[in-house]
Each structure stands twice: as structure tokens, then as C-alpha cells.
Amino acid sequence: MSSNSLVQLLQTYPSKLFPLLEELVVTNTNLTIITSKDFENFPSLKRLTLSQNSIIRLSPGAFSKLHNLEMLDLSQNKLENIPRERLQGLYSTRVLNISQNVIRELEDFTPDLQSLQKLDISFNHITRINRDVFRGLQSLTELYLSGNWLSAISADAFRNLNKITFIDLSRNYFEVIQMKMLTVLETQIKTISFNENPLTCNCETQEVWRWMKEHYKIVIKGSRNLRCEHPEDLHGYSFIELPSQKLCDVPIVIRIAIQDIQTYSIIVSWQSRNQTGLNAYQVAYFSEDHPNMIRGKTLNATARSTRLNNLTPGSRYTVCVIAVGNFGTSTSTGFSVPDARIALSPETASINNLYGDEQIFNHLRPYMNDSLSSKCTSVSTIEIFGAAIDSPFSNTYMDIADILTRRLSLVVGCCIGFIVFVVLVSALGYIKTKKRQVIVKAEVQQAPQYISYDNFNTPGVEVQTTDMDINTITDKTKVPCKHD
């Protein structure tokens, strides 16, 4: 039924049954819609090819009667999406090909595809894949996603694919590959392809670079042509074969600072960037008076400062912070980075007891310079005057000087605080006194108050002010006497 002007399948076999037909091929037609009744007459169908048509829509339940179907090919059509209910009923399908359509977004696949082993979604317009898209595909072993517009995939998208052995992600738009996605796959995957992606090669991709180095057999078959697109100076380099120094030439230890310089101790602090494979830091130092005696301590990878004790007053020291680990970076001297787990010799171990948690690090001499993995600086401890050192009581003087030096800031702070307190109390007292003076002065200058005669008017008594004197009062209530 290929290479014709067929528009609908039912018009070809409206009432015929094909109970024994196992394979049906319909290609190069004008077929646009697959309805739910198109395959009701093919109960035994095992292989169905509908490629190279003009199909734009699948009706719900279009394949629900094809319980024995093992292979479904819908490639080279014009499907923009495939809702999950469109593929319901395909319990026996092992191969599903929906490549070369115009699908932009994938919906979660139906759990009915429980037997699906090979899924080809390559050369569509898919831009992202959510975490639950493949959740129901427990039997999937091969997944083809090449030739899409993918730039990111959920790190958990492949978590439930316990049988997956092959994934093709080539010819997409990945600039960054998520490390979490790779670690989810590493126990069962045999081949993964990232060929022809515009990868950005920098310090942030070191972790992925290391994973690919450690799983070379997994990626070499499908990622041999994974090359750097950015930055420009690395354009065209094979990502897997790229030397670590070219991949990231930013120092691990960015800067080092010396703080709280005392007579016998200093605090060393440093700033560093995140680095894959970093195991520890080693802080090593030596006095310019005794350059062959290198001491120091080993700290975990999260440490950013430490105190160095038992220093000599008035001495100049060279102090270095060295990043230790397995990240393939070399120092400027050409030596590899030391391993933090180097065993100490018995002689060294006995000397270490003199310095508490510090160790003898004479083997670090080649690494004590500024490089991609180390940073150094110089510092001088505080000097004590000569008389105290030469005195038989020098130890006492040193202890006193050390205590005074350590507590000086506290004493000065207390004095300043006391002075500020006194000033505030005095100011408040002055303001309060000033207010009292203002109140007293206002009371003294207040004008005397006069009482008006109007306040003394008696009810029933009228004050005459017309023809009489102001003091003449006429009692209007007076009643004339009557004589019998």
C-alpha cells in the first residue's frame, strides 16, 4: 500500500478482516490522520510501517487493538506531538520509531510500553526533556535523541532506565554536560554519544572531562568527535584528548593572606576555586635562616585558614598553600601535584611529635612556588628586643610580651569604651541641667494675673453703670414694706 494517493485507510478495506496478517507497510501516501478504527481488522499485526507519509495527527486509541504489535514505525511524517494516550495498548511493542517528525516537546510515555526496548526520537525539534518522560519505559535498552535542539536534560531523566546500554545525544546544542546525568548512567551504560555538540571547554567542565577519562570505553565509541566550540583558542580541540592545563589554566589557589602576625605564630588564609579531584591542602613553610627545614600541616579540602605555631620571633618565613589531589595539574617545575596520603618515614614521624599537628615536609620543596596548584608569600614575625632575649629570664619576658601583644587590642578597646561612656553620661547630664534652667527662667518671667470684677457678680444683683456711680448697687429684689 505504498506510493499512492491514499488519504484514509478505511476507504481501502472498509469491511474486510485480516486475521492472519502480521506485517503492513503504508508509505509515500497522502495519509494525514490515523483513526481509532483504522486497525481494528488487523488483530495479528506484528510490524506496522507508516513512514514517509503526511500524518499530522493520531487519534486517541489509534493502536489500542494492536496488542501483538512488536514494531511501529512513524518516522518521516509531520507529527508535532504524541500525547501519551495515543500509544496506549502497545503492550508487546519492542521498537518504536518516531524520528524525523517536527515534535517539539515530549509528553510522558505511557506505561503500556512496558516491553519497549528501542526508542528512536532523533531528528525532531525537541528542546528539553523533563524528568518523568521515560519513567514508564522499564525495559528500554537503546535511546536515540540525536539531531534535536536539546541544550539541557533533566539530571533525573534517565534515573529509572535500569536496563539502558546505549544513548545517542549527538548533534544537539549541549554547551555543558551535567555531571549528575552521567553518574546516574555509569553503572549500566555501555556507550554514550555526545559527538558534534558545541561544548564549552573551561574549568567548569573539568569534572565531566575527568569522568570521560575514567570511563573511556563508554565514551570513545560515541564521543570521539566531541570537540570544543568555545573558547576560541580551544576551538576544534578534542574534548577527551585535551590536556588538563589547556582545559583550565586558572590557579586552584587564587590568593593567600597572612593575618594576626604574632611573635610566635601567624594565621594563614587563602581563597581557592572549586576543583574536581581536590583531596586536601598542604600548608608548608620554612625560615630563611633554616631553608632546609620545611614544616607544615595537611588540611581537608574545605579548609580555608590555619594557624602556624612555634615560630621564631623576628624571623622571615616563606609560606605556601599547595592544593593536593588527582586533577592532572602540574606545577611550573614540571612535577605532578603531591598526594596528601604520602606515608611519613619513622624519622619524620618522631620529629613530628615536637610540633603537635605539624609535620616535616621536606619532600615539598619542588612544589613551593607559584603555580596552578600552589601559592606562596613571605612574612616576618614580630621581633622581641635583644635584652629580653639575652636575659636568663628571656622565657618569662617572651611570655609577658606575647600576652601583652595578644591582649593589647582588648585593653585599648576597653579604654575607648570607658571614655565613650563617660562622655555620653556627661552630655546627658549637661542637657538635663540646661532644661531645668530654662523651665525655672520661664516661671520667673511669667506675667501676674488679674481678677475681673465680673467674677464677683451676685445672682439677682445688677451693677448700674449708666447714671450712677460704679459702686452703687440696686437691689431689684427688694420688696417695699406694707403697713396695715
Q: Does residue 415 fall inside a structural domain?
A: no
Bigger pLDDT: 428 or 112?
112
Q: Does residue 475 fall inside a structural domain?
A: no
Q: What is the mean pLDDT of residues 475-481?
A: 48
- Give residue-wise pLDDT tens across range 133-184: 999 899 999 999 999 999 988 888 998 899 999 999 999 999 999 888 888 8
Q: What is the mean pLDDT of residues 77-97?
A: 93
Q: Does residue 4 fall inside a structural domain?
A: no
Q: Does residue 327 fall inside a structural domain?
A: yes
Residue 397 has pLDDT above 90, yes or no: no
Q: What is the pLDDT of residue 55?
A: 93
Q: What is the mean pLDDT of residues 390-406?
A: 56
Q: For the chain, what is the mean pLDDT? A: 80
Residue 6's pLDDT band, with cuts at 50, 70 and 90, is low
Q: How many domains does the chain have?
A: 1
- Give residue-wise pLDDT tens across range 8-61: 665 556 556 778 889 999 999 889 999 888 888 888 899 999 999 999 999 998
Residue 389 CB contacts under 8 Å (≥ 6 apart), including other chains: 313, 397, 398
Is residue 12 within 8 A of residue 6, CB to CB? The reply is: yes
d(CA 365, CA 246): 25
Q: Does residue 23 fall inside a structural domain?
A: no
Q: What is the mean pLDDT of residues 430-439?
A: 78
d(CA 391, CA 363): 37
Q: What is the mean pLDDT of residues 292-317?
A: 91
What pTM was computed for the model? 0.62
In percent, the amount of the chain with pLDDT more than 70 equals: 76
Q: Does residue 410 fall inside a structural domain?
A: no
Q: Give the 3-state secondary structure of the chain.
A: CCCCCCCCCCCCCCCCCCCCCCEEECCCCCCCEECCCCCCCCCCCCEEECCCCCCCEECCCCCCCCCCCCEEECCCCCCCCCCHHHHCCCCCCCEEECCCCCCCCCCCCCCCCCCCCEEECCCCCCCEECCCCCCCCCCCCEEECCCCCCCEECCCCCCCCCCCCEEECCCCCCCCCCHHHHHHHCCCCCEEECCCCCEECCHHHHHHHHHHHHCHHHHHHHHCCCEEEECHHHCCCECCCCCHHHHCCCCCEEEEEEECCCCCCEEEEEEECCCCCEEEEEEEEEECCEEEEEEEEEEECCCCEEEECCCCCCCEEEEEEEEEECCCCECCCCCECCCCCCCCCHHHHHHHHHHCCCEECHHHHHHCCCCCCEEEEEEECCCCCHHHHHCCCHHHHHHHHHHHHHHHHHHHHHHHHHHHHHHHHHHHHHHHHHHHHHHHHHHHCCCCCCCCHHHHCCCCEEECCCCCCCCCEEECCCCCCCCC
Q: What is the mean pLDDT of residues 316-342?
A: 61
Q: What is the pLDDT of residue 87?
A: 92
Q: Does residue 262 fall inside a structural domain?
A: yes
* Out of 69-83, 271-285, 348-362, 374-388, least confident range: 348-362
Q: Does residue 374 fall inside a structural domain?
A: yes
Q: What is the pLDDT of residue 477?
A: 46
Q: What is the pLDDT of residue 391?
A: 44
Q: What is the pLDDT of residue 356?
A: 53
Q: What is the pLDDT of residue 1?
A: 58
* Out of 75-84, 134-143, 389-398, 426-435, least confident range: 389-398
Bigger pLDDT: 226 or 396?
226
Q: What is the pLDDT of residue 92?
A: 95
- Give residue-wise pLDDT tens across range 186-240: 888 999 999 999 999 988 888 888 888 888 888 877 677 889 998 888 999 889 8
Bigger pLDDT: 476 or 261?
261
Domain span at residue 305?
Answer: 253-387
**Grid coordinates given for 35:** 483513526
Residue 272 has pLDDT above 70, yes or no: yes
Residue 347's pLDDT band, with cuts at 50, 70 and 90, is very low
Q: What is the pLDDT of residue 307?
A: 93
Residue 3's pLDDT band, with cuts at 50, 70 and 90, is low
Is residue 39 within 8 A of residue 66, CB to CB? The reply is: yes
Task: State the CATH number of the domain containing residue 363.
Answer: 2.60.40.10
Residue 345's pLDDT band, with cuts at 50, 70 and 90, is very low
